[in-house]
Amino acid sequence: MSGFSIGNLKMSVPIVQGGMGVGISMSGLAAAVANEGGVGVISCAGIGLLYKEKSSDFFEASILGLREEIKKAREKAKGVIGVNIMVALTNFSDMVKTAIAAKADIIFAGAGLPLDLPSFLKKGSTTKLVPIVSSARAAVLICEKWIKNYNYVPDAIVLEGPKAGGHLGFKSDQIEDEHFSLEEILPELVSQIKKFEIEHNRNIPVIAGGGVYTGKDIQRVLSLGASAVQMGTRFVTTEECDASLGFKNSYIKAKQEDIEIIKSPVGLPGRAITSKFLDRVKNGLEKPTKCSFHCIKTCDYTKSPYCIIVALYNAFRGNFNRGYAFCGSNAYKAENILTVKETIKLLMEEMKDSEK
């Protein structure tokens, strides 16, 4: 079975579990994936809401929460634990510092260009830095900046295609355009990254995600030059996923036509499962009266149709009258809830079958 490496970290399966906020991929899911030989990833988006009993200050609760989740994942897992940190978060630097201090194995940073990420490393830091991009151009820009300013080569690169769940790094008209499909953009990125690998005598594995749901999908993406895949949606319907049963069931009940592209208050398109709440948003019936968290740099509550962090937190708890679930393009394929062990075993079997 083909595993992959990021520096000195070795994974026995070529799978990175996607970071899913608010509260969907925490220590429970991350530890379970890590124990099966993949990379388990804790999402720190909105983590302060899950830890509000620790502090009434959202930013302080976020620091305490992330520290706690990394500790819990470490206690449960013997594998590799990463943290997903959105560049768009107001407390991006807090989260990065906390992850590095808690010795997270990897930081995955997307939703914006993490141009100064290497500046947070201290002498002796062991945390690997992996940007998430949606184009070869962005990957090249990050490589050039990190090398020039910090003499740091990215430890790996995640490429997210337009079929991913949650916020997408594409314009609305690019999402269905085949020129922007993973099949088109992945080989281009792999060949552009080769130059940096040769120049710096370093292996920079490319991890590709967005619409990867079956073992056959994994095989296809690896054949295009990726070292591993990033999968989020497939892990939502697992027992260990940290979301409520209501959230998981929204995937199982969803039909293909229930999955839509929405415009998020963050200013990016996103992929989600339709809900009563989203219907209300479309009819202009939701309006935030204040901003309690100021969690995202680009969000202006006076112009926002709703507060995204509260909507996602409500969905995490299973309340779709007050929220909605982000999902990848294949969420409607979910039929039942399995353990992470069963899911990965099934993926590896599907992958083997597709090689024949």
Segment 180-184 mean pLDDT: 94
The pLDDT of residue 295 = 76
Matching residue, tokens 């202006």: 300
pLDDT for 330 beyond 80: yes
Of 92-96, 169-173, 294-298, least confident by mean pLDDT is 294-298
Give yes or no for residue 59 having a pLDDT over 70: yes
Domain 4-244+333-355: top CATH class: alpha beta
Residue 23 pLDDT greater than 60, yes or no: yes
Least confident of 1-10, 62-71, 215-224, 318-327: 1-10
Q: For residues 138-164, give the mean pLDDT.
A: 97
DSSP states along 143-165: HHHHHHHH----S-EEEE-TT-S
pTM value is: 0.96
Total Cβ atoms within 10 A of residue 283:
8
Backbone angles phi, psi at 182, to 5 degrees: -55, -40
For the cut 80, the answer to whether the pLDDT of residue 218 exceeds it is yes
Buried b vs exposed e over 146-183: b needs ≥16 C-beta within 10 Å? Answer: bbeeeebbbbbbbbbbbbbbbbbbbeeebbeeeebbbe
pLDDT over 70 (residue 183) = yes
pLDDT, tens digit, 9 for 90 and up, residues 235-257: 999 999 999 999 999 999 999 99
Task: Give yes or no for a contact between 101 and 93, defined as CB atoms under 8 angstroms apart.
Answer: no
Cis geometry, peptide bond prior to residue 22 (ω within 30 degrees of 0)? yes
340-355 vs 27-35: helix crossing angle, rounded to 10: 50
pLDDT for 1 equals: 52
Give the position of tokens 């490496």: 5
Where are the domains positioned within the chain?
A: 4-244+333-355, 246-326
Whether pLDDT at 124 is above 60: yes
**Amino acid type, 142:** I
